Structure 1
Amino acid sequence: MNLSAPQPMTVLFFDHTARMGGGEISLFNLVTHVDRSKIEPVVVLASDGELRDRLRAAGVEVHVLSLDESVTEVRKDTLSSTKAVSFAQVSQIVRYIWRLRGFMRARGAEIVHANSLKADLIAAVAARLCGVPVIWHVRDRIADDYLPPLATRIFRLLCRVLPNFVIVNSNATLATLEIPRQKRARVIYNGVVHDGLPPEEFEEDPTLLRGRIQQGAHGALVMAPKPEVNDRELLIGLVGRISPWKGQDIFLRAAAEVIKKFPNTRFQIIGSAMFGEEDYEREIHQICDDLELNDYVEWTGFRRDVPQLISKLDLLVHASKTGEPFGQVVVEAMMAGKPVIATAGGGIPEIVLDGQTGYLVPMNDAPAMADAIIRMLEDPTSARKMGERGRKRAGEHFAIGRTANKISRVYDHLLVDRNNWRRRKRSLRSASLGFVLGGAAMMWWLKRRM
């Protein structure tokens, strides 16, 4: 055993939920891909659930310090006044902060990395009480179209004073924070995990490939050419939780126009309602029925095999009606070599290059979305090239290894700053002590001379 080898820094990651939303997927990807020889990740969750199970299965140290659901399940659209949080909830938060502070100190956390808006506020106070640097990883656009105006103003203000460093998932997210230039902040795109399958494995279902194997000249087995796009069933998918701002209704209205020209097209809506949005799910099922699309649309519900489902799509559609902070699913589709049609809001234009890796369309515009889908289906050669360029771009800019390395460098800088500050404090203490002792000696000498 090499006793002189440097010990990995202990980074405590904190999230208020264990449900597998986009932020939690990004957290899982990050902590399972950091260099464990340099960083020892410790994850603390304020509730139990799938994320804890997945982290444990991946060999990551994880702890659940439960916080009452009346706090963890507060919806952002209720934060419209100072009365949105009750005295009882504030009392629970204060006690929880003190408990979390004790855990940070006992576990020897050197950096605290908060992963969600609720986690940001709780972890920042606990870390400050411990004297530990805290990072806010902001994965949501802090704007009035996403949060109530009061919550937006408060979060922007706190963002200037509480965290030591701010990481954001896109330039679009950074712009909504409106923080001064001197505030330490950096755009680091969410890292997406690619499962390593070669590109050809993403092209079609293996059962379809077997159907194209034919016997050629001299008995050799050859692959028959793919059927023309108009001669086979096409599959277009939208991935994401069922929510009013995700635009499933726009997707369905666009689908109704597409099938008029491509009646062999089928559509998948991959995802389910979360956070009490079941009423909207019933509403869009009714829209599907009203548009007579039931024979064309498949509702998969919540799925854990999203990469496999994406691999079977001809193209992926992103239909969000308000600006998406990043667009994880869009990157996953590009990793799989799929062309993308996406709404031009939030961080999406930083991912999709219009006309090169897909098409960007205005938000809330079903006719424009339908036109883009039809244009892509009419030119499968161009669509295939877009998918190839998208795969290259995703690998170069959004791979998880790149993200983990950039965040690790942030940790290094924070620790260097912290150690420098501690040395300066010791120097100041020494200088102050020397000044006091020197002054006392001078006073004693003067007194003796008198």
Structure 2
Amino acid sequence: MLSLIDGYRFGGAEILLAQLAGVAPQVDISMDIVSLLPESANARETIRLLEQAGVRPRNLNVRRLLDPTAIFQIVQEIRRSRCDIVHAHLETAVTLALPAAKLTRRPLVCTFHTIAEPLTGREAKRERLAVLAATRSDRAIFVSAASRAAFQHMYGHSEPPPNWEVIHNGVDLTQFTPGPADPRVREELGASTGPLVVVPGVFRDCKGIAIAIRAWPAVREKFPDAKLALVGDGEPAAEYRRQVDAAGLGDAVIFAGSRTDMPAVYRAADIILAPALPGENFPTTLIEASACGRPIVTTTAGGIPELVAAGETGLLVAPGDHVALVDAVCHLIEHPSLASRLGAAAVVRAQQNFSVLAAATNLRKLYESALGVVDEPAASCT
């Protein structure tokens, strides 16, 4: 199988590909991965993850959608790889892969990793082209039912097109397991004593971090020693720091930065908070936290209700409702036995439904369907 992606940036789609490559041999899939963008655009961390998974990532030299050599380059790569099936990720790859797959007579599978939102200008045109291409492909995958529904609504389909399917992302859960909190990590996150609530993930508007900051003074009224640790970084960091200072939160909110020891961070937390807003799709940080046995307070944005079972593995509130967010956080702090039950159930749900091996198994079945393999072992995807 040849995976084609826009570029080796450091993002969710790229990390997912690396994790899938690591387990692909277990489901009899051989993965070849190639980037449209040249090597100069590679993110070092993404290349490291791919190489650790046993993949030798390759680059084409397609810098833009209208590159006149793009389809020729992809056709050559498909023929060189001798793949049985092509799997395109992200908009440019999806759009360009369709004619290349047709020319080489290979089935094409496409994946959308985002949730549809109103766009303008070139972004809107690029997405529309990608959706048209995916709808003409053999299979189009959406990583949540919410994402599929959003694209269906955005592009005027009364029903999902017959080739639009949902396969949830999975995470390599090898390191994400329950365990005791490390006191050193809790201290680094600012909570040697008192409740510790952690917001994990890259700083983006859709993560709703500003909502968490707005909610925190009310949490502190009930629990003066409660700490909020923001574990991540990104462009809005300066604005979030300004909001913290303006709210007089001082050392009540800790900017912990990006960390490489996330399993220990999750285990150190009493609660994982994800105040997601519309635009969030299917945050894999919540799979990781669940697998570590942490209770979650989050929202009903995007595909989150498909991931976190309301009242069973976490508490869900409406996006943007900071009052409900305060109530949910305080409720779990006040009822540690409930928090423990939610965390234990979250482990089971993550292991059963959201492992990367489960995702790879589901992909294997979809590939077999696209290849027309029925009731017999599929040919090796080489």
> By how many angstroms is 1:97 displaced?
2.5
Pairs within 5 Å for 1:48-447: 48-49=42-43, 50-68=45-63, 71=64, 90=66, 92=67, 94-144=68-118, 153-161=128-136, 163-178=137-152, 180-181=159-160, 183-195=162-174, 199=178, 201=179, 203-205=180-182, 232-273=193-234, 278=235, 280-416=236-372
**1-side partners of 2:105 and 2:127: how far apart?**
27
**2-side partners of 1:362 and 1:392: how far apart?**
25
Residue 347 to residue 198, structure 1, CA distance change in 2 (3 Å): closer
Asked whether the 8 Å contact 1:243–1:281 carries over to 2, the reply is no
Structure 1: gaps of 5 or more residues: 1-10, 72-88, 210-229, 419-450
> By how many angstroms is 1:167 displaced?
1.4
Residue 18 of structure 2 is matched in structure 1 by: 28
Residue 197 to residue 368, structure 1, CA distance change in 2 (3 Å): closer
Q: Single out whichever of 258-267 and 292-301 deviates more from structure 2.
A: 292-301
**2-side partners of 1:160 and 1:400: how far apart?**
26
**1-side partners of 2:340 and 2:257: how far apart?**
28
Bigger radius of gyration among the two: 1
TM-score if structure 1 supplies the norm length?
0.74
> By how many angstroms is 1:141 displaced?
1.2
Deviations along 1:129-154, whole A, 9 cap, x unmatched?
Answer: 22211111111112327996665555
**1-side partners of 2:249 and 2:91: how far apart?**
38
Alignment partner of 2:269: what SS?
coil
Asked whether the 8 Å contact 2:181–2:264 carries over to 1, the reply is no
Deviations along 1:414-433, whole A, 9 cap, x unmatched?
Answer: 22369xxxxxxxxxxxxxxx
Asked whether the 8 Å contact 2:144–2:303 carries over to 1, the reply is yes
> By how many angstroms is 1:181 displaced?
4.9
**2-side partners of 1:54 and 1:151: how far apart?**
28
Task: Indicate whether 1:44 and 2:37 are aligned.
Answer: no
Alignment partner of 1:61: what SS?
coil
Asked whether the 8 Å contact 1:44–1:62 carries over to 2, the reply is yes
Residue 292 to residue 208, structure 1, CA distance change in 2 (3 Å): closer
Asked whether the 8 Å contact 2:91–2:126 carries over to 1, the reply is no
Deviations along 1:302-352, whole A, 9 cap, x unmatched?
Answer: 333322222211111111221422121111111110000111111011111
- What amino acid is the match of 1:236? V
TM-score if structure 2 supplies the norm length?
0.86
Percentage identity across paired residues of the two chains: 27
**1-side partners of 2:218 and 2:150: how far apart?**
35
Residue 378 of structure 2 is matched in structure 1 by: none
Corresponding residue pairs, total: 359
Structure 2: gaps of 5 or more residues: 375-382
Alignment partner of 1:39: what SS?
coil
Residue 268 to residue 168, structure 1, CA distance change in 2 (3 Å): same
Asked whether the 8 Å contact 2:292–2:347 carries over to 1, the reply is yes
> By how many angstroms is 1:17 displaced?
2.3
Deviations along 1:193-222, whole A, 9 cap, x unmatched?
Answer: 1125653x2x3106699xxxxxxxxxxxxx
**1-side partners of 2:371 and 2:226: how far apart?**
55
Alignment partner of 1:103: what SS?
helix
**1-side partners of 2:226 and 2:93: how far apart?**
43
- What amino acid is the match of 1:98? F
**2-side partners of 1:139 and 1:383: how far apart?**
31
**2-side partners of 1:37 and 1:136: how far apart?**
20
Alignment partner of 1:236: what SS?
strand
> By how many angstroms is 1:177 displaced?
2.7
Deviations along 1:234-282, whole A, 9 cap, x unmatched?
Answer: 2111112112222111011111211111111111112221xxxx3x332
Alignment partner of 2:24: what SS?
coil
Residue 379 of structure 2 is matched in structure 1 by: none
Residue 303 to residue 120, structure 1, CA distance change in 2 (3 Å): farther
**2-side partners of 1:318 and 1:307: how far apart?**
16
